[in-house]
Chains A and B, each alone.
Chain A
């Protein structure tokens, strides 16, 4: 698998505080990588490090194969865009002028493409409105447009939907999916809003206390986070043969209780059990989400 970002054993220390403790992660090309962790876990610190804003205390990372300490990193960074913490804009300039400024920084010979970018992020009609007067959603979209100015292959977004209203969240989500699908841009997105992240991410990385707890693909997560049906019956006799008949994986947790993994209607389950002389007393569904997975993972790491 090809990776656009590889991080190997990166640590970052601020005086007595170890913000990153030997982080190793891989962001595959074309992925939407959801970077998950609580406040202070080290998400923004790692993002700052890979964006070149801060140097790692130890360890190494490379972007498109260029190690951070090599001269090639400057070229690799040109294939990258990022919004770290909040969109970095000049408040006294319009959306167009902010993009002009970014085009100049990039050394682009002309301003062709600014209209297209403004249209893409739905800011074409902002005219002479200064960026300082933009809503948070507009600022976020302009930030993404600035990040897109270099035609990047890899975009890093730090908490891109923090503080946005529901409409703004949907707009950003759709924009990310569109860019990922149409332009094959790889995204690394840190977020607290796990439900939202679960709608777009193809890969996940979980960080806590400056350490990566786990990296997992969305397919693996779905397999792990499958639906469960928890049930209680009057007797455990013939229970195994009845559950075999459902065709689903199951686990018997006590003589009269068990869990079925997968989807099955309550009436179907009841009928199968009845045919084996078992009466269904109680049933409930458990849909394990990304959030539950994360909390379990975090609980596990804290117990270690």
Chain B
């Protein structure tokens, strides 16, 4: 697999598109830091670091990974260069896993660039972290796993869908639907169980009272929606980069137990394992032209 990985990295290093993405991703944290420092109430360092893993409901990193994966690996199908690998006796499992590993290296590599610039420029400008060290570490771990999960999903799509255009469309749909689903699930989770309304008391005075919200979903529905939000990379990406980090808020964005860090990590690992297993099974059986 090492030889395949070296060959992949050589090819990618020759790709102009790849270097354009690297340049854009390098500019991204610089622009954030420079813009924020000029605002009246700049974001915290916590928030800036979190933008490495998502831009609230817009899963930017997912989009970047989908585009890169599509551009870099669809070429193998359209040029026919995948044939060169199979013909010389490289197993399909190795080819698949190497492409996945390559995509993970690229996505984590871009993330590392962001982190380096964050520490070099962002943090000096925006100040120290407001969250605890363990929270920051969990955010980096979960965020990195989200990027890996995105890489695994996009590799599955590109390696099993032989039509480059179709794979690009499917990738776009998966990301969009994932983001919309996460948004909807989060909306349900955030419906309050009690609402405050105006009412008259026994003396005829108008007062604020709290009454049960008839439209609130049951606890079971909320738990399910929270599970889906925790499971989906777009949901995790949203949670990690949510507004809860801004302006020195705590990480306790839901104010109901905080983020499920270790569960989210496990879900991401599960997604990586499941998509890779399914991807290898399909790729092994696919006819290559």
Contacts and interface: CB of A to CB of B under 8 A. Distances in A.
Nearest to B7: A104
B4 to A, nearest CB: 6
Interface stretch (A48-56, A227-235, A261-269): A48-56
Nearest to A74: B89
Nearest to A152: B88
A53 B84 contact: no
Interface in B52-97: 75, 79-91
Interface in A39-60: 48, 51-55
B267 to A, nearest CB: 35
A84 B88 contact: no
B288 A48 contact: yes
Interface string B247-286: 0000000000000000000000000000000000000010
B286 to A, nearest CB: 9
A150 B88 contact: yes
Given A77-B88, A81-B87, A82-B83, A53 B4 contact: no
Contact of B79 (A52, A91, A100): A91
A53 B87 CA distance: 7
Q: Is the interface of B mostly helix, strand, loop or mixed?
A: helix
A92 B90 CA distance: 23
A88 interface: yes
**Interface magnitude class on chain A:** 35 or more
A76 B87 CA distance: 10
Interface in A88-146: 88-93, 97, 100-102, 104-107, 146
Contacts of B3: 104-107
Nearest to A84: B83
A150 B89 CA distance: 11
Interface residues of B, number: 27
B81 A51 contact: no
Interface string B86-113: 1111110000000000000000000000
Given A53-B287, A54-B288, A90-B75, A105 B85 contact: yes
Interface string A59-84: 00000000000000111111011101
A97 to B, nearest CB: 6
A33 B287 CA distance: 25
B6 A104 contact: yes
B80 A146 contact: no
10 contacts: A75-B89, A81-B87, A81-B88, A82-B87, A86-B80, A88-B81, A102-B84, A104-B10, A105-B4, A106-B88
